Structure 1
């Protein structure tokens, strides 16, 4: 008897490219025949020649996109850069609402090969990266990046770990920027005046003192960010390196900075010691090192000396007034400062209990120092979180408390970016004081243009004010300052694209934001509404199911409790999308 032989499966390591047309459903709805013809022409004139020239093959077409395989990651990325540039040339005269733009994802993986298809996680990762890329963008996995870095003329922006749908492990992603493509000069450049303050090692015997080391790093970061000539990476991105042995050259490449500051904090008995080293990421040279020790009541002075040492090593001449301004502390009261730092440490935990504890600690700081503007701002921000996540129990009373705290913050914090931006945003989101909010938040960004969270909140404010183009400019600033932890920015980008009518991009950004912070209702609502208006009822209905899971009583009638749109037409559009998705009246 002849036994059946096992079917041989062909596998090989390949670079997989997935691509589709951004906003395809909207484009087809507006003009089916013209859209179909334009896509077909671009595939013939731009895409297919670039892929063939670079040794790739289109495995299959997917209606509004395609799947391609390459024997080389370098050639795959070169092909993508080439045809994206050609598509921009061919569509430069098209109107914004009819322009065809492709999104591209590239991954290197071991895949199963068939004559007209490829399968496996390597393919799925490429497809998921494509789904979160911006219109006209190229995103690649870390496996592809390892093959192409240093081999092609392109710039890579580290987008951090991405949790991709149906992919078990997070995938680190990089955005590819064509160096030949002109870009707006609005974003800070990555030059010699750029720095990241990495997490200081906590050498205290008590692990509970971790908040102290983090608070010192936060203060030094904020002080450095007040120097307008110095580009400072946000704390959240720097803290992704916590607990890791780092190569400073790699950190420099990943964050786009020339210098890093590393250090340690030790508190023993009645003494505290802060040590720091400033390192050039290109040469690995140690430019400055300092160790400062004193009693706890001298902690502010110790921090100031670290800041002055770093700045003095970078710039040979500085105005003494600028140093004084950067070293100005929000309070001279150590007890108030300690309560504030403890509140900040609790604030990072996304739970109602942690939010309540952070609010309690900020109030304790205010009790000790009633003029501590940043504590008022962060307390108001606690209420913003409570409203956005449906945690408010007595909404009228809590809204009144939040508004009072916000006004205190902006009036006391004339030059305090935290107070102005957190308090200002609370005025918009809770009290609907949109014009006042814009005034105070712009003042906060003027005081500290390196404040990444302020740019993120500014993006949300512009969404609520009905200014999606400005919102996307704020998103770009926030991502550049905080490239490895863009939580919150994705949600703002989703709403901006939603207001611009690009429901495909809105859905993709919302889905990414939902992975950032699953209980956050606003991105889930954007996901449901954008899919509803795009006619994709299954994902839209799934979005509403998630919304009602987290807030069972939400309906069209009380939707204004969640979405603070200023313009009636924006709220009407949002309501229409959720109504189509199945949100109850």
Structure 2
């Protein structure tokens, strides 16, 4: 999950982390310089053309060749002479440049193990689909996701979020290494086979410290009994770890459940895929009108404008709020529905009700990482920056390999705190989805006086968001603090975003 590091002379270059060390001390290297150095060192001894190098440092951007010349000169000054007195980077006239030194690969830097929480901690690894039919993959993934949700509702457990568990899907990784990566003691592993109206599930609970299997069982049932099996698996795990049981409510219709499982896989994809998810969810609620989760995702679809050409209208946002309220009414104990309702209420500036819903979501499920990430966004814009930073850090602990929007929330919080360099690092990381986060990246660059880079980010942002204006953004975001609003507007204006 991390890029290869390279060692040359006294230096260690880590492109994934964006760092260059000289004798273990950090070297102040710019973003463009680091990208150029990574391209050159990664193909040491080869001649790289100017166009190729410019594409590495300024992807998708038309820049003058003089920018490359300046960056190479700065790199040479930064690196100093090689051991033989020559240059690390040599010029090939009329062609490009070559890294002349000897570089060796070190492999990815090992992640530092996360400390164990002060209560039983568990991750549910993606169940393996052992059916011969690849179409059953969504069903198996849905089983995993539901078990994660069920366990996260149990008071007294620390449960890793879905995104981080699914990093290991289809990979053969030692359980001890996974436990170190995620900072948990227990892992649930399993497999599922669905065929001819029946389902067979194997599950086992592993203590990664001792290597012991605390519990293992096989279930062979009718497909309609899948929810009973989920309850039994959850109950066995909780009984093993806490000595108590707490079964959650279930959908009534297996076909509605199947549609919702498939729709969930499409929600973080393209707008076209989200429209397909909308059709599935609409069908799901028609089959089971009391299915809270389907209403929850329908609410997000309407609020994000994924099912409306041109983006969400006022009517669409009103419908989203109505659907979120319905989800909470159907299942008041569903923390996922609660935080989505809270988030939508905040964007409607119904702050008192939003705060109450966020508090209830956390009370119901303190392991719901998305709640903490969404709350971070709202707290930062309310001027409570330290609380916002604390919440997003908690979200990352529960979900060490999260969805890209977590990085946007973290970058926004770092900008709000005035830590512009950290915000730039966050918003430029490979994990960040840059379509919407570029505005905060541009503002952070502008606040540090890096106006050329800021203008480039603005141009790229406006390609995907041609109708964006600072005035409209400021009016629709859930700001509760005038000074915080002014801080963001100031950065946007310096970056050159349209008024």
Residue number in structure 2 paired with 1:352: 271
CA distance in 2 between partners of 1:413 and 1:112 (Å): 66
338, 360, 363: which one pairs with 2:282? 363
439, 464, 481: which one pairs with 1:550? 464
Please tell me whether the aligned partners of residues 378 and 423 of structure 1 are also in contact (alpha carbons under 8 angstroms): no
Matched, 1:386 2:300: no
449, 455, 459: which one pairs with 1:535? 449
How far is the alpha carbon of 1:56 from its aligned partner? 4.1
Residue number in structure 2 paired with 1:129: none
Residue number in structure 1 paired with 2:377: 460
Residue number in structure 1 paired with 2:337: 419
CA distance in 1 between partners of 2:351 and 2:326 (Å): 17
Cα offsets for 1:281-338 (capped at 9, x unmatched): 12222221111111111111111121122223334x32xxxx23xx212423323322
Distance 1:398 1:112, change over 3 A: farther
Distance 1:307 1:12, change over 3 A: same
Residue number in structure 2 paired with 1:524: 438
342, 355, 360: which one pairs with 1:438? 355
188, 211, 217: which one pairs with 1:261? 188
Cα offsets for 1:318-375 (capped at 9, x unmatched): 2xxxx23xx21242332332222122122132x1111112222222222233332222
CA distance in 2 between partners of 1:541 and 1:383 (Å): 32
Please tell me whether the aligned partners of residues 382 and 484 of structure 2 are also in contact (alpha carbons under 8 angstroms): no
How far is the alpha carbon of 1:561 from its aligned partner? 6.6
CA distance in 1 between partners of 2:273 and 2:488 (Å): 31
- Report the 3-state secondary structure (helix = DSSP H, G, I; strand = E; otherwise coil) of the residue aligned with 1:332: coil
CA distance in 2 between partners of 1:259 and 1:500 (Å): 36
Residue number in structure 1 paired with 2:212: 285
Residue number in structure 2 paired with 1:310: 237
Single out whichever of 434-443 and 559-568 deviates more from structure 2.
559-568
Residue number in structure 2 paired with 1:42: none
Residue number in structure 2 paired with 1:570: 484
CA distance in 2 between partners of 1:233 and 1:399 (Å): 31
Please tell me whether the aligned partners of residues 375 and 419 of structure 1 are also in contact (alpha carbons under 8 angstroms): no
Please tell me whether the aligned partners of residues 302 and 312 of structure 2 are also in contact (alpha carbons under 8 angstroms): no
- Report the 3-state secondary structure (helix = DSSP H, G, I; strand = E; otherwise coil) of the residue aligned with 1:553: coil
Please tell me whether the aligned partners of residues 249 and 282 of structure 1 are also in contact (alpha carbons under 8 angstroms): yes
How far is the alpha carbon of 1:214 from its aligned partner? 0.9
CA distance in 2 between partners of 1:551 and 1:393 (Å): 11
Matched, 1:211 2:207: no
Single out whichever of 575-584 and 215-224 deviates more from structure 2.
575-584
Cα offsets for 1:522-562 (capped at 9, x unmatched): x2111112222332211211121011110112123332476
Cα offsets for 1:186-222 (capped at 9, x unmatched): xx94367111110001122321221111111111111
How far is the alpha carbon of 1:379 from its aligned partner? 1.7
Matched, 1:480 2:397: yes
Residue number in structure 2 paired with 1:132: none
Matched, 1:469 2:383: no
Residue number in structure 1 paired with 2:92: none
Residue number in structure 2 paired with 1:143: 108
CA distance in 2 between partners of 1:57 and 1:333 (Å): 59
How far is the alpha carbon of 1:239 from its aligned partner? 0.7
How far is the alpha carbon of 1:255 from its aligned partner? 1.1
How far is the alpha carbon of 1:116 from its aligned partner? 11
16, 19, 27: which one pairs with 2:12? 16
How far is the alpha carbon of 1:391 from its aligned partner? 6.3
Matched, 1:241 2:168: yes
Single out whichever of 253-262 and 394-403 deviates more from structure 2.
394-403
**What pairs up with 1:402-413 in 2 under 5 angstroms?**
402-413=320-331
Residue number in structure 2 paired with 1:341: 261
Q: How many residues align structurally?
A: 426
Question: Which segments of 5 or more consecutive residues in structure 1 lack a partner in the other structure?
Answer: 1-10, 19-50, 68-110, 126-140, 150-154, 158-187
Residue number in structure 2 paired with 1:584: 498
Matched, 1:226 2:153: yes
312, 319, 324: which one pairs with 1:401? 319
Cα offsets for 1:102-124 (capped at 9, x unmatched): xxxxxxxxx96577997799x9x
Please tell me whether the aligned partners of residues 303 and 317 of structure 2 are also in contact (alpha carbons under 8 angstroms): no
CA distance in 2 between partners of 1:285 and 1:346 (Å): 37
Distance 1:223 1:62, change over 3 A: closer
CA distance in 1 between partners of 2:416 and 2:228 (Å): 48
Please tell me whether the aligned partners of residues 192 and 257 of structure 1 are also in contact (alpha carbons under 8 angstroms): no
Please tell me whether the aligned partners of residues 12 and 112 of structure 1 are also in contact (alpha carbons under 8 angstroms): no
Please tell me whether the aligned partners of residues 205 and 268 of structure 1 are also in contact (alpha carbons under 8 angstroms): no
CA distance in 2 between partners of 1:561 and 1:212 (Å): 42
**What pairs up with 1:156-195 in 2 under 5 angstroms?**
156-157=113-114, 189-190=116-117, 193-195=120-122
CA distance in 2 between partners of 1:473 and 1:61 (Å): 28
How far is the alpha carbon of 1:247 from its aligned partner? 0.8
- Report the 3-state secondary structure (helix = DSSP H, G, I; strand = E; otherwise coil) of the residue aligned with 2:202: strand
Cα offsets for 1:6-30 (capped at 9, x unmatched): xxxxx84656389xxxxxxxxxxxx
- Report the 3-state secondary structure (helix = DSSP H, G, I; strand = E; otherwise coil) of the residue aligned with 1:292: strand
- Report the 3-state secondary structure (helix = DSSP H, G, I; strand = E; otherwise coil) of the residue aligned with 1:442: helix
Please tell me whether the aligned partners of residues 459 and 472 of structure 1 are also in contact (alpha carbons under 8 angstroms): yes
Give the root-mean-square deviation of aligned CA atoms. Answer: 3.3
CA distance in 2 between partners of 1:445 and 1:142 (Å): 40
CA distance in 2 between partners of 1:114 and 1:448 (Å): 61
TM-score, length of structure 2 as denominator length:
0.77
Question: Which segments of 5 or more consecutive residues in structure 2 lack a partner in the other structure?
Answer: 1-6, 15-20, 35-80, 90-97
